[in-house]
Amino acid sequence: MPEGPTIVLVREKLLPLVGKTVQKVAGYESASKRGLRKRKLTGIQTWGKHLLLVFGDRTLRVHFLLFGSLAVNPDTPRRAKLVLHFNAKDSIAFYLCALELIDEPLVDHYDWSIDILSDQWKSAAAVKKIRNKGNTALCDCLMDQTIFSGVGNIIKNESLFRSELHPLARAAQVPAEDLKKLVKEVRRYAKSFLRDKKKGVLEKHWQAYEQEECPRCHIPLQKKILGKSKRRCYYCNNCQERY
């Protein structure tokens, strides 16, 4: 389910419910979320992989982890962690996910300049943070949500391939120009991911992720679990600079 762009699409899907009031809270984890009853959904925001349902001064934070999901007005009933029933027959059901209430202003809680899809995104700050990561492999720098909030394994692999950098290149050894290129590519591909996913053609434009062969030089792509993050890396030993 996740990666930042997917959460942005979930937000768009839920927008028609803004303005409605929660009449009933259900689900096997509803006890701790009873405080949402009678509250009006005043807005929806996202921060990286976080979906933020704003109810005035209280916000429900939803994180879908690896295989979480949600449904609007589900027709086939299924065990849900939380169900928010609104006016009449509108509802949102949350299945596997991490739910949390935030009772402070979101601007104090989140820094949107590190959200790869935000208007406030600051690429120079990301470059600076990577440069301070010493021996950390680029594949781990990219998965660091305090640098790139919203990047997941797909965006990681595609950005590294497209900027021609090896997942095991060490942060401090990569020239600044290359890091700039990488950070720019993360932002560019995240937007592309969003457009493609909306059109249902996300997989068609993958150049490295889950691919067998390098689209540039046509040798087989490497597929290995790398880095501290221990996630799949798809890369070309020929086209991606390791330093």
User: Where does this chain bind DNA (CB under 7 A)?
Assistant: 1-3, 6, 48-49, 63, 65-67, 69, 78-79, 95-96, 98, 143, 145, 151-154, 228, 231-232
Taking the complex as a whole, the smallest distance from the CB of residue 98 to DNA amounts, in Å, to: 7
Report CA-CA distances (Å) from 97 to 50, 100, 192: 11, 10, 26
d(C-alpha 177, C-alpha 213), whole Å: 27
Q: Smaller CB distance to DNA: residue 154 or 179? A: 154
Q: Smaller CB distance to DNA: residue 83 or 151? A: 151
Q: Smaller CB distance to DNA: residue 19 or 104? A: 104
Taking the complex as a whole, the smallest distance from the CB of residue 87 to DNA amounts, in Å, to: 27
Q: Smaller CB distance to DNA: residue 158 or 178? A: 158
**Rounded to the nearest 10 degrees, what angle do helices 176-199 and 153-162 cross at?**
130
- The amino acid at residue 93 is A
Question: What single string gives the DSSP state of each residue in 24-67?
Answer: EEESTT-GGGGGGTT-B--EEEEETTEEEEEETTEEEEEE-TTT
Taking the complex as a whole, the smallest distance from the CB of residue 149 to DNA amounts, in Å, to: 8
Closest alpha carbon to 34 in 95, 82, 70, 98:
82
Taking the complex as a whole, the smallest distance from the CB of residue 225 to DNA amounts, in Å, to: 7
Taking the complex as a whole, the smallest distance from the CB of residue 114 to DNA amounts, in Å, to: 12
Taking the complex as a whole, the smallest distance from the CB of residue 164 to DNA amounts, in Å, to: 21
Q: Which phi-psi region, left, alpha or beta, contains residue 88 (left: φ > 0; alpha: ψ -120 to 50)?
A: left
Q: Smaller CB distance to DNA: residue 28 or 243? A: 28
d(C-alpha 240, C-alpha 243), whole Å: 9
List Cβ neighbours of 103 (8 Å cut-off, separation of 6 or more): 57, 58, 59
Strands 70-72 and 82-85: unpaired
Q: Which residue has the tokens 């890091």?
A: 179
Q: Smaller CB distance to DNA: residue 84 or 139? A: 139
